[in-house]
Amino acid sequence: MKSVNALCAALLAFTVGSYAQGHNQSAPFYLNLLSDDPGLNGTGLVPCHTGAAIENLCSAAILNASQALYGPFQFNTTAWSVAANSTAGEVGVLTYMLQGSNFNESEPMNLSYDSSSNIAAPIFMPGYPQLTVAFDSDNRLNIPTYTDTGYAPLYRWYLCDNSYYYKYRSIAWVVGPGVPDDASCCPVGIYRSWV
Ligand SMILES: *[C@@H]1O[C@H](CO)[C@@H](O)[C@H](O)[C@H]1NC(C)=O
Ligand SMILES: *[C@@H]1O[C@H](CO)[C@@H](O)[C@H](O)[C@H]1NC(C)=O
Ligand SMILES: *[C@@H]1O[C@H](CO)[C@@H](O)[C@H](O)[C@H]1NC(C)=O
Ligand SMILES: *[C@@H]1O[C@H](CO)[C@@H](O)[C@H](O)[C@H]1NC(C)=O
Ligand SMILES: *[C@@H]1O[C@H](CO)[C@@H](O)[C@H](O)[C@H]1NC(C)=O
Ligand SMILES: *[C@@H]1O[C@H](CO)[C@@H](O)[C@H](O)[C@H]1NC(C)=O
Ligand SMILES: *[C@@H]1O[C@H](CO)[C@@H](O)[C@H](O)[C@H]1NC(C)=O
């Protein structure tokens, strides 16, 4: 019960902070892959369009896209953001600035779950729904989670062939400790590098 309460308190505190006090925004950074595939290791990730003002996270290497063209990412924290574990990093929200012809919209990252598989897709879209993430002391992106045995930063990122709408290789999160339901998914890490 204690760990569940701690999570609720952290989420509540974050929610209050994000509305009442605004955010501290990090310097811009790029997101890169850690992979056993030498052709992918160190290459970038870019937001890829999947719907009106909705982006997934795709491999820039496979799209032949330049990260710089797509603008960097940022990390928003509040005074209420806690680091439950200093190694795992302060919690906050990963954001991407969508630039239109006459607007700029800071979009938070969330996960879009699929009821028929254990694969969730990171999505950037306008509005409140957002996911609490952290960058650990090696700058690696994790999802901080409280389990029965305590606090655990999780790193269940994969690169999969089958993204929702297009044939990009896109990032997926696997729900639970099992292997991905999609056999095309390979495990990767995601780290940030400052612009
Ligand atoms: C992130 O923080 C900046 C600076 O306070 C703010 O302008 C932006 O709207 C925030 N983005 C999100 C998605 O909350
Ligand atoms: C991938 O790149 C990282 C950082 O440059 C390096 O430390 C690591 O050894 C590389 N992994 C492989 C499998 O080449
Ligand atoms: C990306 O570039 C490589 C090497 O220039 C090329 O072989 C490949 O077909 C390109 N991929 C796409 C999707 O354009
Ligand atoms: C931003 O960071 C400063 C310094 O850590 C802190 O004093 C301030 O309360 C933070 N602001 C918000 C909105 O979180
Ligand atoms: C959006 O941001 C870009 C880059 O900072 C800036 O050049 C542009 O004027 C902004 N557009 C609007 C509508 O604010
Ligand atoms: C985003 O996050 C919220 C709150 O955690 C959740 O209810 C929602 O289902 C998530 N997914 C989407 C696609 O909004
Ligand atoms: C933080 O979490 C990691 C992974 O669970 C663990 O190995 C490490 O000992 C923790 N560090 C602290 C300071 O609690």
Residues ≥6 apart with Cβ < 8 Å to 152? 144, 145, 146
Higher pLDDT, 8 or 37: 37
| CATH topology classification for 23-194 | Trefoil (Acidic Fibroblast Growth Factor, subunit A) (2.80.10)
**Ligand 6 geometric centre to CA of 112 (Å):** 7
| Distance (Å) of CA 46 to CA 2, 67, 90, 171 | 38, 6, 23, 10
The C-alpha atoms of residue 158 and residue 45 are separated, in whole angstroms, by 12
DSSP label of 87: T
Query: In whole angstroms, what separates CA 73 from the centre of its chain?
Result: 10
Which is nearest to 142 in space by CA: 130, 129, 131?
Answer: 131
Is this model's pTM higher than 0.75 or not? yes
Asked whether 106 lines ligand 1 (CB < 6 A), one says yes
When pLDDT is cut at 50, 70 and 90, the band that residue 163 belongs to is low
Residue ranges of the domains in the chain?
A: 23-194
pLDDT digits (tens, 9 = 90+) for 35-64: 999 999 999 999 988 888 889 999 988 877
pLDDT digits (tens, 9 = 90+) for 108-126: 999 999 999 999 999 999 9
Token digits of residue 89: 């990093």
**Ligand 7 geometric centre to CA of 178 (Å):** 22
Q: Is the pLDDT of residue 147 over 80?
A: no
Asked whether 101 lines ligand 5 (CB < 6 A), one says no
